[in-house]
Chain A
């Protein structure tokens, strides 16, 4: 297998994220990721989808795109939003980095990107052509099957 590709498009509403989290959990199990790593993958995807919906969408109709690529040596997940320009919650990659720099354990927010850094084997935030952000995260497949 060179690589397999799965894509979802969801309305920008947090009520749909749980279903995707369950899906990626089952997929990770199928690919042979250990239970603890599967939980990490689920949490990381939850965090970036929540950010995309809450801080990268103008409205429910904006939608977010989730691209899952199963490579031989790693699992790649990318979540794309269209940007929440002119909305008070809009986070650009730069603003996300700034929020993370100010993060403290006592704070109620700003933990998402920090968790992504902790949980993944690689991540990238990039502005996209739609005015939003593409967040890509990688998980190495070491002893996994498939």
Chain B
């Protein structure tokens, strides 16, 4: 299964969960994009990204998540995010992406939303 030392992929039924364990500047965003695109190639259509270990995200990473969410929705699935701390929430809100991608407080609530 796709993943790196700092981003692992696990599953819950037909939903893939990515645990991100590094701050997301442009370099790490490349890894996140690769993992998400690999899941798309595997025909996965339900994905949750858990940000509980992340304290920073830039607009490149946010743009990647927005783009992947749109592609998953075209396949009948979706991308849901959880455990965003205040710095990440601020970035999503400033960009306006929090109205484009669904954000949940907990992983449990994100999974239940599918």
Chain A residues with CB under 8 Å of chain B are: 14-15, 17-18, 21, 36, 39, 42-43, 46-47, 50, 53-54, 104-109, 111-112, 114-115, 118-119
Contact between chains at A14 and B56 (CB < 8 Å):
no
- CB-CB under 8 A from A47, the residues of chain B are 58-59
- CB-CB under 8 A from A108, the residues of chain B are 63-64, 66-67
| Proximity bits, B81-94, A CB within 8 Å = 1, else 0 | 00000110011001
The distance from the CB of B41 to the nearest CB of chain A, in whole angstroms, is 19
Any A CB within 8 A of the CB of B74: no
- CB-CB under 8 A from A53, the residues of chain B are 26
Contact between chains at B100 and A21 (CB < 8 Å):
no
The complex places the Cα of A18 from the Cα of B26 at a distance, in Å, of 8
Query: Which residue of A has the minimal Cβ distance to B59?
Result: A111
Contact between chains at B25 and A21 (CB < 8 Å):
yes
Cross-interface CB contact of A109 among B27, B56, B63, cutoff 8 Å: B63
Contact between chains at A105 and B100 (CB < 8 Å):
yes
Contact between chains at A17 and B63 (CB < 8 Å):
no
- CB-CB under 8 A from B67, the residues of chain A are 108
Cross-interface CB contact of A17 among B25, B66, B87, B90, cutoff 8 Å: B25
